[in-house]
Amino acid sequence: MPHRFAPIFDHHSHVSLYAALQGCLDLSTCANPAAALRLMRALPEDRLSLVRGWHSGRLPLSEADLAGLPPLLLVNFSLHGLRLSPGAAEMLQDTDSELVARHADPGWCERNLDRLLVLYGRTAGLTPAKLEAWIQSLEATGTGAVEDLLLTGDAAWRVMRASRWADRMPWWTVPVIFEALPAEAKAECAGLKVFTDGALGARTAALAEPFLDGTPGLLLHTDEGLRQALAALHPHGKALAIHAIGDRAIGQALGALEDLDRQGLRFPLVRLEHLQFITEAQARRARDLGLVLSMQPNFTSDSVDYGDRLGPDMLARNNPFRMLIDRVGFRPGRDLIFGSDGMPHGLAYAARWSLFPPHEGQRLSLTELLAGYGPAPGDLPALELAIDETAREVRLVGGLR
């Protein structure tokens, strides 16, 4: 029997970037590198193209593969990390020589992620038509509102605020972009975002143990550097969102926040984003600080997808929802909220991995999952979710109209 639900509120995506990427070549459904290369070879030779959805584990590409391609930016599925074809490097040499020289350095990419996301958005270009098409694609997944966790700039803000979804797309951004916005946009900004580590796809998440290939992951700040960076944001009076995937990054963020708390420097709201490898001790510290955990149930699939780079113990530690809810006391919809990061959007994929996870500690009930997303504002029609226990599959029945 189908389960009825109100359209969800996705608390973590990238509206201004993902909407701009509409129409760009997407490799996420390519079965093998040969198929991806065939598609990329058909791109224009006379201009720079952006290619998205590249999963480095599923679609390994050599320098020789890239050498035969048109000018393109090949962006990792996680948005952390990129490759340039030789033609793209030649086109960008005069305008961004540092990018050309250092784009293969994961540390440089992570420390310049805000700059790269702006480049991606500028290369793709956000238009009202693209945003409307993207909104329609969200509606088809049962999503009725979404937060942009990194507005890419003033031009994107102007397109978004003119949209029919303007009141259903609260947005955050990084400090360097916030400082360049007009006063009206600054007033509308929901909060400021800080990165502390990278991503699993790029092997730059700061985990307690190295990846299987020996890569240690990456902390983007020293302990003191992060404390100073957060303290510098306090005068803005904005909420704070801190990206931290690995337990080393989570521990560093908690240490900085505890130090600021002792000094009386408190933010209106602090969200920790992702937290895939949070420990029980860290969860208790976060609870004591009154933090909100913003997580992605769909990332439970990483425990299958990243068996090539994480050992069995780490795969089992990913997304420990039962520990957070049952032992530490976080409450879905109150201090534990859910988003998708656009990988992918919608309730069906998240429900599949929540109801039928590879590890029992990752399980969420449908009630918990829906509470963590929460309903989108407005009088929107209810939807239905069909759950097949035998096949361990979930699908959305219909979408918003």
Over the stretch 291-331, which tens digit does the pLDDT of each residue have? 999 999 999 999 999 999 999 999 999 999 999 999 999 99
Average pLDDT value for residue range 377-383: 90
Q: Please report the domains of the chain, with CATH numbers, ordered by start residue.
A: 3-14+125-397 (3.20.20.140), 21-124 (3.10.310)
pLDDT of residue 179: 96
Q: What is the pLDDT of residue 1?
A: 63
Mean pLDDT value of segment 188-216: 95
CA angle 65, 71, 77 (to 5 degrees): 65
Biggest alpha carbon–alpha carbon distance for the chain: 60
Beta carbons of 383 and 344 less than 8 angstroms apart:
no
Q: Is pLDDT larger for residue 298 or for residue 22?
A: 298
SS3 string, the chain, reads CCEEECCEEEEEECHHHHHHCCCCEECCCCCCHHHHHHHHHCCCCCCCEEEEEECCCCCCCCHHHHHCCCCEEEEECCCCCEEECHHHHHHHCCCCHHHHHHCCCHHHHHHCHHHHHHHHHHHHCCCHHHHHHHHHHHHHCCEEEEEECCCCCHHHHHHHHCCCCHHHCCEEECHHHHHCCCHHHHHHCCEEEEECECCCCCCCCCCCCCCCCCCCCCECCCHHHHHHHHHHHHHHCCEEEEEECCHHHHHHHHHHHHHHHHCCCCCCCEEEEECCCCCHHHHHHHHHHCCEEEECHHHHHHHHHCCCCCCHHHHHHCCCHHHHHHHHCCCECCCEEECCCCCCCCHHHHHHHHHCCCCHHHCCCHHHHHHHHCECCCCCCCEEEEEECCCCEEEEECCCC
Tell me the backbone φ, ψ of residue 261, rounded to 5 degrees: -60, -40
pLDDT score, position 79? 85
State the pLDDT at residue 81: 83
User: What is the CB neighbour count within 10 angstroms for residue 162?
Assistant: 10
Tokens of 255: 């240490």
Q: What is the pLDDT of residues 51-89, one digit of tens each?
A: 999 988 789 999 999 998 999 999 988 888 899 999 999
Instruction: Kindly tell me if the per-residue pLDDT of 401 is higher than 70.
Output: no
Sign of the C-alpha dihedral computed for residues 36, 92, 62 and 64 taken in this order: positive
Query: What was the pLDDT predicted at 78?
Result: 81
Q: What percent of the chain lies above the pLDDT cut of 90? A: 88
Residue 97 has pLDDT above 60, yes or no: yes
* pLDDT surpassing 60 at residue 217: yes
Determine which of 13-17, 113-117, 162-166 has the lowest per-residue pLDDT on average.
Answer: 113-117
The span from the CA of 321 to the CA of 393, in Å, is: 20
Residue 400 has pLDDT above 60, yes or no: no
- Amino acid in position 13: S
Phi, psi of 167 (to 5 degrees): -85, 5
For the chain, what percent of residues have pLDDT higher than 70? 99
Tell me the per-residue pLDDT of 225-266, one tens digit each, with 9 for 90 and over.
999 999 999 999 999 999 999 999 999 999 999 999 999 999
pLDDT recorded at residue 92: 95
The pLDDT of residue 16 is 96
Using CB atoms within 10 Å of the CB of residue 338, give its burial: 0 to 12 exposed, 13 to 18 middle, 19+ buried. buried
pTM above 0.95, yes or no: no
φ and ψ at residue 68, rounded to 5 degrees: -95, 10
Q: What is the mean pLDDT of residues 329-351?
A: 97
